């Protein structure tokens, strides 16, 4: 199946003060190389690296701001430049570098640490509750129930940052990876069939790997070869899935339905996420069978 790619999971949201000077906040050692500069405002401070994420502060023109690191996100045409770089402030929000009056280099923001938690995983039907430890996300050696349990935390983190319904993310991971047992997933930790469309596969993937696959063309499947993204971990794959949906404009209509998982799924399919005419029905069947809607954040 063909699908285009999005996603990016960032650090936890911290409260921001909408004052002229943004100061304070906890800065790790990896974020020590800070830059204090001014912005070409007025400029919204966002919860994530996209204009579609929540506004958590606002900076006036020439307001000073302390920046600690950078991430790749939505491409923005601003008053200073056009850029897909977003800068993390010392208080935890993100501002588009397109409005920042500085060319000073910032370090890349570290990936968020997913806490190791013990959670209750719901059985595949109405079976007993199974306890499983969620540390590195799902894998192909798990039972179906534990696969779902291990997918909940990264899927919900994606929803917090990028508003992709967790139920959609989990169901797509199940279908695309064959419960984590596909060759693409076992070898390259790619849970969503995200492809490489350029020599540089984005800031999260670590490379590309070619596989034989099928595309649905003119009413039937055609054998072909395609390059797919590779990852260092399952968590990176989940992050890239969310980031992909956010940074590719073709999926923007889906974000009008973040409170309606079924409609969100239909809109990304309509925009070209998959070519199979039964893709929506297949994903929705999983969402209903395992009651994945219960994991959507309200």
Using an 8 Å Cβ cutoff, are 197 and 5 in contact?
A: yes
* C-alpha closest to that of 28 among 92, 78, 84: 92
Our answer to whether residue 240 is catalytic in this structure is yes
Task: Name the catalytic one among 215, 236, 249, 296.
Answer: 215
**pTM to 2 decimals?**
0.57
Q: How many CA atoms lie within 13 A of 75 on its CB side?
A: 5
pLDDT (0 to 100) of residue 220: 55
Task: Name the catalytic one among 31, 176, 240, 296.
Answer: 240
pLDDT (0 to 100) of residue 215: 58
Question: 58 is written with which tokens?
Answer: 């606002």
Rounded distance, CA 69 to CA 245, Å? 23
Domains in the chain: ranges and CATH: 29-99 (2.30.30), 117-295 (1.10.530.10)
Collect the ranges in the chain with pLDDT lower than 70. 1-33, 52-54, 111-135, 199-200, 212-224
Q: Count of CB atoms within 10 A of residue 183's CB?
A: 12
Our answer to whether residue 176 is catalytic in this structure is no
Using an 8 Å Cβ cutoff, are 236 and 111 in contact?
A: yes
Using an 8 Å Cβ cutoff, are 174 and 147 in contact?
A: yes
Task: Tell me the pLDDT tens digit for each residue of 213-258.
Answer: 655 555 556 666 778 899 999 999 999 999 999 999 999 999 999 9
pLDDT (0 to 100) of residue 28: 38
pLDDT (0 to 100) of residue 91: 84
* Residue 87 dihedral angles phi and psi, to the nearest 5°: -110, 130
């Amino acid at each position: 199946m063909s699908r285009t790619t999005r996603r990016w999971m960032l650090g936890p949201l911290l409260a921001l003060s909408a004052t002229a000077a943004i100061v304070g906040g906890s800065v790790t050692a990896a974020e020590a190389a800070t830059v204090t500069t001014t912005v070409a405002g007025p400029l919204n401070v966002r919860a994530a690296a996209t204009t579609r994420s929540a506004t958590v502060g606002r900076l006036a023109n020439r307001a000073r701001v302390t920046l600690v690191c950078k991430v790749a996100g939505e491409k923005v045409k601003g008053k200073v430049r056009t850029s897909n770089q977003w800068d993390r402030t010392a208080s935890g929000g993100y501002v588009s570098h397109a409005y920042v009056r500085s060319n000073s280099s910032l370090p890349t923001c570290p990936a968020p640490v997913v806490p190791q938690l013990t959670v209750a995983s719901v059985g595949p039907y109405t079976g007993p509750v199974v306890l499983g430890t969620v540390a590195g996300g799902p894998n192909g050696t798990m039972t179906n129930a534990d696969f779902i349990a291990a997918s909940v935390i990264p899927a919900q983190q994606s929803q917090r940052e990028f508003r992709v319904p967790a139920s959609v993310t989990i169901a797509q991971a199940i279908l695309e990876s064959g419960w984590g047992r596909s060759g693409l997933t076992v070898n390259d930790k790619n849970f969503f069939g995200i492809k490489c469309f350029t020599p540089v596969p984005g800031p999260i993937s670590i490379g590309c790997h070619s596989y034989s696959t099928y595309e649905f063309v003119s009413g039937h499947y055609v054998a072909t070869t395609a390059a797919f993204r590779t990852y260092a971990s399952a968590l990176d794959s989940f992050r890239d899935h969310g980031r992909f949906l956010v940074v590719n404009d073709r999926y923007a209509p889906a974000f009008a339905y973040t409170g309606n998982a079924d409609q969100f799924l239909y809109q990304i399919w309509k925009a070209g996420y998959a070519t199979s005419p039964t893709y929506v029905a297949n994903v929705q069947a999983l969402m209903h069978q395992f009651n994945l809607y219960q994991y959507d954040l309200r």
